[in-house]
């Protein structure tokens, strides 16, 4: 009996440690990527990269910290599947960690972000393009032979736009102002080699919307944040699906689908992209709803949590009955 109690305690400690490591490793990895990508976006061809910037790294930590805290529960579900920690005590610890993250740690991170936002802002000085490189600008290929103060350049232009005589227009230019930036990058040559693929841009853009919604909900007041944080309750419900199948891979796929569904519905409803009329009607009908909160989002998350809880209970009951029959 004592040995069993010690094993439970060890598993609880491992569960807590795993969550801490997931958050720390996830935050650090994302912050490093943010630091390198941001550093690359501010350099021009021929200039050395100084990627190790503590300020950029800290900015990345503060930016992505809330996201890794909120998504830490997803990876905890995979840990629970891997180690078969399906007892009520482990599920309780899992929920405590998740709720503390959503209701305490994430707001702390948002306060840090708000207070450090001005000091961690990226430099806004305009960069001058370096001479001696070919660059494309729409249908034109530009070669800057010299770039002087105020970004005034001399060089050669090859205009590849279709002409009636099917010839390419080539001409030189002097004292022409070069472009200051290219869609977030200081230099199109760097952009061409560093810019994220379309799929990755879609993912990061979606998370950017999510982060903006989180900050908007928190800034509207703590009660509004609690309503928004019911999204965490719906996400944490995934733990009830960790033993729905005897195949671990199937459980992982089901949980991933569950998280994507919750995330997609919440981000579109909170952003006014889905069920906006229903949201407005309920907001006017329910006078007790906090400012800027979404009644549809609140109802969906609570209903989804209850539904997944019922599915999980039925699944575990069937499994216990089948084991008893054997």
- Angle at which helix 106-116 crosses helix 54-83, to 10 degrees, equals 170
Alpha-carbon distance 311 to 314, whole Å? 5
> What is the CB-side half-sphere exposure of residue 222 using CA atoms within 13 A?
7
Alpha-carbon distance 183 to 43, whole Å? 13
For residues 80 and 87, which has the higher predicted lDDT (pLDDT)? 80
Determine what percent of the chain is predicted with pLDDT higher than 90.
Answer: 17
pLDDT value at 92 more than 60 = yes
For residues 271 and 110, which has the higher predicted lDDT (pLDDT)? 110
CB 189 within 8 A of CB 135: yes
For residues 192 and 77, which has the higher predicted lDDT (pLDDT)? 77
CB 73 within 8 A of CB 101: yes
What is the pLDDT confidence band of residue 162, given thresholds at 50, 70 and 90?
A: low
**Predicted confidence (pLDDT) per residue in 19-32, tens digit:** 999 999 999 998 88
Nearest to residue 10, comparing CAs of 78, 100, 85, 97?
85
**Predicted confidence (pLDDT) per residue in 262-289, tens digit:** 998 888 887 666 666 666 666 666 666 6
Q: Is 182 helix (H, G, I), strand (E, B) or coil?
A: strand
Instruction: Retrieve residue 281's tokens.
Output: 């009607």
**Cβ burial, residue 69 (10 Å; 0-12/13-18/19+):** buried
CB 135 within 8 A of CB 185: no
For residues 1 and 261, which has the higher predicted lDDT (pLDDT)? 261
Average confidence (pLDDT) over 32-39: 83
> What is the CB-side half-sphere exposure of residue 51 using CA atoms within 13 A?
8
Q: What is the pTM of this model?
A: 0.77
CB 62 within 8 A of CB 109: yes
CB 261 within 8 A of CB 189: no
For residues 301 and 289, which has the higher predicted lDDT (pLDDT)? 301
**Predicted confidence (pLDDT) per residue in 169-192, tens digit:** 787 888 887 765 556 676 677 777
| Sequence-separated (6 or more) residues with CB below 8 Å from residue 62 | 109, 112, 113, 116, 120
What is the pLDDT confidence band of residue 166, given thresholds at 50, 70 and 90?
A: low
Determine what percent of the chain is predicted with pLDDT higher than 70.
Answer: 79
Alpha-carbon distance 231 to 26, whole Å? 20
Average pLDDT, the chain: 80
What is the pLDDT confidence band of residue 253, given thresholds at 50, 70 and 90?
A: very high
- Angle at which helix 248-270 crosses helix 54-83, to 10 degrees, equals 130
What pLDDT does residue 58 have?
86
What pLDDT does residue 95 have?
92
What pLDDT does residue 43 have?
72
Average confidence (pLDDT) over 85-98: 87
* Domain parsing of the chain, residue ranges: 1-124, 134-180, 221-326
Entry field: residues in the chain: 326
For residues 160 and 11, which has the higher predicted lDDT (pLDDT)? 11
């Amino acid at each position: 009996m004592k040995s069993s109690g010690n094993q439970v305690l060890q598993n609880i400690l491992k569960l807590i440690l795993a969550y801490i490591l997931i958050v720390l490793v996830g935050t650090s990895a994302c912050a490093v990527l943010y630091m390198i990508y941001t550093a690359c976006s501010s350099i021009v061809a021929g200039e050395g990269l100084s990627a190790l910037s503590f300020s950029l790294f800290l900015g990345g930590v503060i930016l992505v910290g809330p996201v890794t805290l909120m998504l830490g529960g997803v990876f905890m579900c995979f840990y629970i599947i891997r180690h078969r920690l399906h007892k009520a005590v482990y599920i309780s610890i899992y929920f405590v960690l998740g709720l503390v993250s959503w209701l305490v740690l994430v707001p702390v991170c948002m306060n840090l972000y708000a207070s450090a936002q001005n000091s961690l802002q990226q430099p806004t000085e305009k960069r001058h393009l370096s001479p001696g490189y070919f660059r494309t600008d729409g249908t034109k290929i530009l070669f800057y032979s010299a770039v002087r103060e105020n970004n005034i350049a001399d060089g050669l232009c090859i205009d590849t736009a279709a002409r009636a005589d099917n010839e390419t227009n080539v001409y030189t230019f002097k004292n022409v102002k070069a472009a200051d930036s290219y869609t977030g990058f200081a230099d199109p040559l760097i952009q061409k080699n560093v810019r994220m693929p379309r799929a990755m841009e879609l993912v990061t853009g979606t998370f950017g919307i999510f982060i903006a919604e989180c900050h908007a909900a928190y800034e509207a007041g703590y009660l509004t944040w609690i309503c928004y944080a019911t999204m965490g309750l719906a996400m944490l419900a995934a733990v009830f699906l960790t033993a729905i199948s005897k195949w671990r891979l199937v459980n992982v796929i089901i949980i991933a689908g569950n998280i994507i569904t919750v995330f997609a519905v919440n981000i579109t409803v909170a952003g006014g992209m889905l069920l906006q009329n229903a949201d407005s009607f309920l907001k006017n009908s329910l006078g007790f709803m906090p400012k800027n909160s979404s009644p549809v989002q609140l109802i969906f998350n609570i209903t989804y949590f209850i539904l997944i809880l019922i599915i999980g209970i039925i699944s575990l009951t069937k499994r216990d009955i089948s084991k008893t029959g054997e």
